[in-house]
């Protein structure tokens, strides 16, 4: 179980100024909505949130390692097992992978297993309070990878052109103006949230499928 305790400063994976510069047009009222839609599509495709926030995640199983569900981990405020706070010096954190291991002195999570001592997370209730995610382009000191923002911009462009704005729609596969005229569009990829192929390529390394 996971609960957000401190929300992000913003959830937009790009800025209105970046969109205006990309499209070469002035800001319009609907442009912010397109940014929000594109940001949501990128997060949906990746199965994760990119914005930095604080979370309280609860575990209830025996394991040598706790696997946090929000990445990248910026800091861990506390780990409490059955109400007992674990000494931070006893914790080994892999921030990029979101893994927490305990290796310190005997404490509330110490158990003897077989012929050697093995520290595991006991069942019942282990609560981790931590901050994870990126600072987005609208946040001071942004840390969001550039390819994630570029993917969002590509999605904004696709939404913009599909609404009949601007120049040629990049989703058009072929066009014929002779006679009545026909227009053929590229087929959408199932489960891709309508993202252009370039955006999917950029976002694939950030996907979480579990």
Beta bridge partners of 66: 100
Cβ contacts of residue 205 below 8 Å, gap of 6+? none
pTM strictly above 0.75:
yes
pLDDT tens sequence across 161-172: 987 655 544 444
Beta bridge partners of 117: 112
Q: DSSP per residue over 12-45, as a string?
A: -SS-HHHHHHHHTS---TTHHHHHHHHHHHHHHH
User: Phi and psi (nearest 5°) for 182?
Assistant: -135, 155
pLDDT tens sequence across 43-102: 999 999 999 999 999 998 667 789 999 999 999 999 998 888 988 888 899 998 999 987
């Amino acid at each position: 179980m996971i609960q957000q305790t401190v929300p992000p400063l913003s959830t937009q994976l790009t800025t209105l100024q970046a969109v205006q510069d990309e499209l070469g047009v002035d800001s319009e009222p609907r442009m912010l909505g397109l940014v929000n839609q594109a940001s949501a599509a990128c997060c949906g495709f990746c199965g994760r949130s990119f914005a930095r926030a604080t979370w309280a995640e609860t575990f209830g199983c025996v394991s040598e390692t706790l696997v946090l569900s929000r990445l990248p981990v910026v800091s861990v405020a506390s780990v409490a097992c059955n109400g007992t706070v674990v000494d931070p010096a006893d914790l080994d954190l892999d921030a990029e992978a979101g893994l927490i291991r305990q290796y310190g002195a005997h404490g509330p999570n110490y158990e003897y297993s077989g012929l050697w001592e093995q520290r595991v997370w006991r069942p019942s209730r282990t609560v981790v309070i931590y901050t994870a995610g990126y600072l987005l382009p609208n946040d001071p000191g942004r840390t969001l990878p550039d390819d994630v923002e570029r993917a969002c911009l590509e999605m904004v462009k696709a939404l913009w052109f599909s609404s009949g704005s601007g120049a040629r729609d990049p989703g058009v596969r072929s066009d014929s103006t002779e006679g009545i005229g026909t227009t053929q569009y590229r087929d959408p990829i199932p489960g891709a949230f309508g993202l252009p192929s370039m955006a999917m390529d950029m976002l694939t390394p950030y996907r979480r499928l579990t």
